[in-house]
Chains A and B, each alone.
Chain A
């Protein structure tokens, strides 16, 4: 069974995503910041990381860079907090956030998501990414 590590500073988001992904049949672990996450990943490596980008202490982009370095084959999804940068529903105010997301991609993220996204979309994306491993 594939395992997923979720990094987000909001408890509600961690819990909601854990619930949703466990119901889809995955093993889910959670961390509330980048440092905690890297430690946890070293102890119990996951196949997929889902991380928020704008976080206190260590921002998501740096976390992604470090994880990518240490775990080159891992799958990473970056999610953004403010404004919409999803081009399907693009809003002009999202420019700053889009810069972050593009940085995340350059740092090694495989996919980006903007909040709020739907359960089905998340599961579909995770399935796709993890199926490539098996």
Chain B
């Protein structure tokens, strides 16, 4: 029962019907009372008037002396009316009508109101005004017709009220439906939002101020929800992106740590390994030297030597890669001393048949950089320059300058933004690079050298280092004349 009553619609119906349940009985009994009273009053009025009329007739005639006439009059008084008995009493004179004496038991009692004494007869005494006599006319009137009249009226009343009840039930259901319609619209709209379809703006058709106010508020909540959702989705996307980046960095770090371990191991082994390889080289080469060429062992040893050279290359490769992935530390550093240091090394390593020049600028060259990587970069390029020279003669020039990249240059080299850069140039007078090869020159393992003279990693390492410093690298080369590499490194903004 409680659950049913929890609906606004049913509450309306129940309240309406409840009110009616209280009012209708009141109405019924009230109306019934009115009907009864009016019937009774009319009955009593009628019977009194009739009695009076008969009394008048008796008064005007000289009835008391004529018994037969009196009897006749009494009987005829009962005809055409609802009188049941009539009695005339005047001193000793007593006369009763004869018509209906056997029908009912006549208990004569004076009635003052309708329905008294339970005998369904209304007794009435009317005093007669006959001079010299104390005469009275007593009459009994049948209440039954009136009772039946009341009864039928009551029945009709019940019918009407019942009909009314039925109609009012329908009316209440209709009313409740009409009243709850805006609520149901609102509920449907909010259910839509709750289900997740909150793309569309809320709209409820209603004139009621309360419903409109609710709609406005609900709409405000919906749009805020949409906004919050969008913001959340973005936050989640950002968080996911950050997570992805972090994972990627973690992976890289793990990789580099692994490789660093390999590198440390490799570095540790290298010394030992190179000694071992030297021993193999020298003994094998000596044996080849000692054996005549037609001796089968000669050929075999040549193959041994070939494999040993591959072993040497392999060790170098491992060492190269492991060196690449050491932890890097980017700090604002002055490039000039780093370049000078490398240059000194070069002077020690390159035979004096090659001319070495260094040009620096007096301007500050502060770049946000990792010192070891810059070292590596310059060494790689200078090594390449040296290897490009024929017969170990020619020149290598290393120069540093401070430049401003303009729009023109920036357009041709997308990695360069207009601004202040340090330009490091390494120029050689070697055999140069063919145009067709220039595209692939930074590819890892791309090399035009023979086995044992390079793995082809040098320039890809250089390229990697330049990119990780947000710089760029350009090449000018003419086969037969020489090559110049220009490295652009952005100046550290805080200082320069």
Instruction: Establish whether residues A81 and B275, one from each chain, have CB atoms under 8 Å apart when the complex forms.
Output: yes
Closest-by-CB residue of B relative to A109 is: B348
A13, A20, A91, A118: which has the most chain B beta carbons within 10 Å?
Answer: A91
Instruction: Establish whether residues B286 and A23, one from each chain, have CB atoms under 8 Å apart when the complex forms.
Output: yes
Question: 1/0 per residue A6-34: CB within 8 Å of B?
Answer: 00001011001101100100000000000
A82 at the interface (CB under 8 A from B): yes
Instruction: Establish whether residues A92 and B290, one from each chain, have CB atoms under 8 Å apart when the complex forms.
Output: no
The complex places the Cα of A79 from the Cα of B382 at a distance, in Å, of 22
Question: 1/0 per residue B361-405: CB within 8 Å of A?
Answer: 000000000001001100110110011000000000000000000
B376 surroundings in chain A (CB, below 8 A): 92, 95
A19 surroundings in chain B (CB, below 8 A): 282-283, 286
Instruction: Establish whether residues A91 and B278, one from each chain, have CB atoms under 8 Å apart when the complex forms.
Output: no
B83 at the interface (CB under 8 A from A): no
B267 surroundings in chain A (CB, below 8 A): 82-83, 93
Asked whether A89 and B279 contact (CB < 8 A) given A95-B379, A112-B349, A119-B285, the answer is no
Instruction: Establish whether residues B320 and A92, one from each chain, have CB atoms under 8 Å apart when the complex forms.
Output: yes
A62 at the interface (CB under 8 A from B): no
A95 surroundings in chain B (CB, below 8 A): 372, 375-376, 379
Select the stretch in A38-46, A65-73, A97-105 that faces chain B.
A97-105
A133 at the interface (CB under 8 A from B): no
Instruction: Establish whether residues B379 and A116, one from each chain, have CB atoms under 8 Å apart when the complex forms.
Output: no
B461 → chain A closest CB, angstroms = 7
A58 at the interface (CB under 8 A from B): no
Instruction: Establish whether residues A102 and B349, one from each chain, have CB atoms under 8 Å apart when the complex forms.
Output: yes
Select the stretch in B217-225, B230-238, B451-459 that faces chain A.
B451-459
The complex places the Cα of A85 from the Cα of B275 at a distance, in Å, of 15
Pick from B275, B289, B324: contact of A92, CB under 8 Å: B324
The complex places the Cα of A81 from the Cα of B383 at a distance, in Å, of 20
B281 surroundings in chain A (CB, below 8 A): 116-119
A23 surroundings in chain B (CB, below 8 A): 286, 289-290
A130 surroundings in chain B (CB, below 8 A): none
Asked whether A102 and B387 contact (CB < 8 A) given A82-B270, A93-B322, the answer is no
Main secondary structure of the interface of B (DSSP, over half): helix
B105 at the interface (CB under 8 A from A): no
The complex places the Cα of A116 from the Cα of B305 at a distance, in Å, of 12
B382 surroundings in chain A (CB, below 8 A): 87
Question: 1/0 per residue B241-277: CB within 8 Å of A?
Answer: 0000000000000000000000100010011001111
Instruction: Establish whether residues A17 and B349, one from each chain, have CB atoms under 8 Å apart when the complex forms.
Output: no
Instruction: Establish whether residues A93 and B271, one from each chain, have CB atoms under 8 Å apart when the complex forms.
Output: no
Residues 44-90 of A contacting B (Cβ, < 8 Å) = 54, 81-90
A106 at the interface (CB under 8 A from B): yes
Instruction: Establish whether residues A12 and B270, one from each chain, have CB atoms under 8 Å apart when the complex forms.
Output: no
The complex places the Cα of A10 from the Cα of B275 at a distance, in Å, of 8
Closest-by-CB residue of A relative to B320 is: A91
B388 → chain A closest CB, angstroms = 11
Instruction: Establish whether residues B345 and A90, one from each chain, have CB atoms under 8 Å apart when the complex forms.
Output: no
B312, B322, B379, B386: which has the most chain A beta carbons within 10 Å?
Answer: B379
B466 → chain A closest CB, angstroms = 14
Instruction: Establish whether residues B344 and A102, one from each chain, have CB atoms under 8 Å apart when the complex forms.
Output: yes
A120 at the interface (CB under 8 A from B): yes
Instruction: Establish whether residues B289 and A88, one from each chain, have CB atoms under 8 Å apart when the complex forms.
Output: no
Question: 1/0 per residue B75-92: CB within 8 Å of A?
Answer: 000000000000000000
A114 surroundings in chain B (CB, below 8 A): 274
B144 → chain A closest CB, angstroms = 134
Instruction: Establish whether residues A87 and B383, one from each chain, have CB atoms under 8 Å apart when the complex forms.
Output: yes
B454 surroundings in chain A (CB, below 8 A): 89
Instruction: Establish whether residues A13 and B383, one from each chain, have CB atoms under 8 Å apart when the complex forms.
Output: no
Instruction: Establish whether residues A87 and B349, one from each chain, have CB atoms under 8 Å apart when the complex forms.
Output: yes
Asked whether A92 and B274 contact (CB < 8 A) given A101-B348, A105-B348, the answer is no
The complex places the Cα of A76 from the Cα of B452 at a distance, in Å, of 26
Closest-by-CB residue of B relative to A106 is: B348
A84 → chain B closest CB, angstroms = 6
Instruction: Establish whether residues B277 and A120, one from each chain, have CB atoms under 8 Å apart when the complex forms.
Output: no
Instruction: Establish whether residues B345 and A102, one from each chain, have CB atoms under 8 Å apart when the complex forms.
Output: yes
Instruction: Establish whether residues A13 and B279, one from each chain, have CB atoms under 8 Å apart when the complex forms.
Output: yes
The complex places the Cα of A94 from the Cα of B289 at a distance, in Å, of 31
B138 at the interface (CB under 8 A from A): no
Instruction: Establish whether residues B286 and A90, one from each chain, have CB atoms under 8 Å apart when the complex forms.
Output: no
A50 → chain B closest CB, angstroms = 12
B290 → chain A closest CB, angstroms = 7
Please, could you name 16 A-B residue pairs with CB atoms under 8 Å apart, sorted by A? Answer: A10-B275, A13-B278, A16-B286, A23-B289, A81-B271, A85-B349, A87-B349, A87-B386, A90-B383, A92-B458, A93-B267, A102-B344, A102-B349, A112-B348, A115-B278, A117-B278
The interface of chain A, by Cβ under 8 A from chain B, is 10, 12-13, 16-17, 19-20, 23, 54, 81-95, 98-99, 101-102, 105-106, 112, 114-120, 122
Question: A87-B386, A87-B387, A101-B348 known; 13 other A-B pairs, CB under 8 Å?
Answer: A19-B283, A19-B286, A20-B282, A23-B289, A82-B267, A85-B349, A86-B349, A87-B350, A88-B453, A102-B345, A112-B349, A116-B308, A118-B281
Which 5 A-B pairs have CB atoms at the shortest separation, nearest pair first? Answer: A102-B348, A90-B383, A119-B285, A16-B282, A93-B323
